[in-house]
Amino acid sequence: MNKATIRNILMLAVAALSASLEAPRLVHQPLSSATRELADASGAINSAVQNVADNITESHLGFDTNIYPGDRAMAAWKHSGEYEWVGYYLPAPCHKDDTWANTRAHLEQNGWGLAVIYVGQQTWGRRLPAAPAKAAKQTSAKSRKHKSSRSTGAMLRKSSTPIAAAGKDCSASLVTGAEGAVDARDAVARTAHEGFARGSVIFLDVEYMDVIPQPMRDYYRAWTRAVLADGRYRPGIYAHTRNAAAIYDDVSDEYSQAGISDDPPFWIAGAKGFSPGRPPTDVGHTFASAWQGALDVVRTHNGVQLPIDISVAAVASPSGAARTAEAR
């Protein structure tokens, strides 16, 4: 339920209650006085209801699955009315499947919101050179403002997303700043080829790490910097809740250096306390714009069964077009 709908419901409820309470008194007043009093009351009610609606955090249910289920399956699930958006996987170095390609227009025409996902280079659990202790512990002013918390829950991986086996273009040896810039250009080109509007968000998938090594920091910072420099799209990050705060500091710094004051979009994975209907920030980070909390579950809608991961987002289309760095 969006804020406009909530506001309309509140307005009707308050108006009905007010009318039932005030009608007996106003009927005995002169018409001009009663009309003026009703007009004043209407303005006060409208202001109060808008204030309540503005402070309601929205929650929009979505899912992702690595292989495109097909048009019929997506139509069946859309008609169920439960899910509003779906993850849209670009072909990427560590996600070879291309079944989602060329489905954007069809999905949008059928009412689906989309979250564009680019699975870049991963550490594969290898002990790459660790980030300097001082840098690893540093917390930006922007992060302190958000008072983000780190979950101590069990590691959560997007295991329903088959990450490609290490190879010549998907390897821990490619976790470098130089490769981050290369992959950013690839992500932008593929997003443009799919026809996404300027200003759409591309979420770089950064899988869970026990420790974030310096090469990975160089990689995702360079990726973010290159997407911002291109100006057509907005870089976002998918990250595990344990890594999210540190990555947020780095990515926010890149946004600031590009002269952008907005928060970078963060889609955060963390199972603890998740349930549909809760806002993304309940993952434990107030900068979260989406929260993935149920992995490797199987759901059936209108006779179609799919293996999925379930998320909630603050908007009905997490990659929905926003202002680009160029437009700013």
Confidence of residue 153 (pLDDT cuts 50, 70, 90): very low
Q: Which residues contact 76 (CB under 8 A, 6 or more apart)?
A: 301, 302, 303, 304
Tell me the three state secondary structure of residue 125: coil
pLDDT tens-digit series, residues 214-236: 999 999 999 999 999 999 999 99
Of 225, 142, 221, the C-alpha closest to 188 is 225
Please give the average per-residue pLDDT across 267-277, as a whole number.
96
Confidence of residue 35 (pLDDT cuts 50, 70, 90): low
Q: Tell me if the pTM is above 0.85.
A: no
| Cα–Cα–Cα angle for 111, 191, 65, rounded to 5 degrees | 55
Give the separation between CA 212 and CA 285, rounded to whole angstroms: 18
DSSP readout, 159-210?
TTS-PPPSBTTB-GGG-SHHHHHHHHHHHHHHHHHTTPPTT-EEEEE----S
Give the separation between CA 209 and CA 269, rounded to whole angstroms: 13
Confidence of residue 323 (pLDDT cuts 50, 70, 90): very low
Greater model confidence, 66 or 29 = 66
Of 284, 291, 271, 290, the C-alpha closest to 153 is 271
Give the separation between CA 133 and CA 13, rounded to whole angstroms: 56
Greater model confidence, 67 or 169 = 67
Please give the average per-residue pLDDT across 93-108, as a whole number.
97
Please give the average per-residue pLDDT across 285-306, as a whole number.
97
Mean pLDDT of the chain: 81
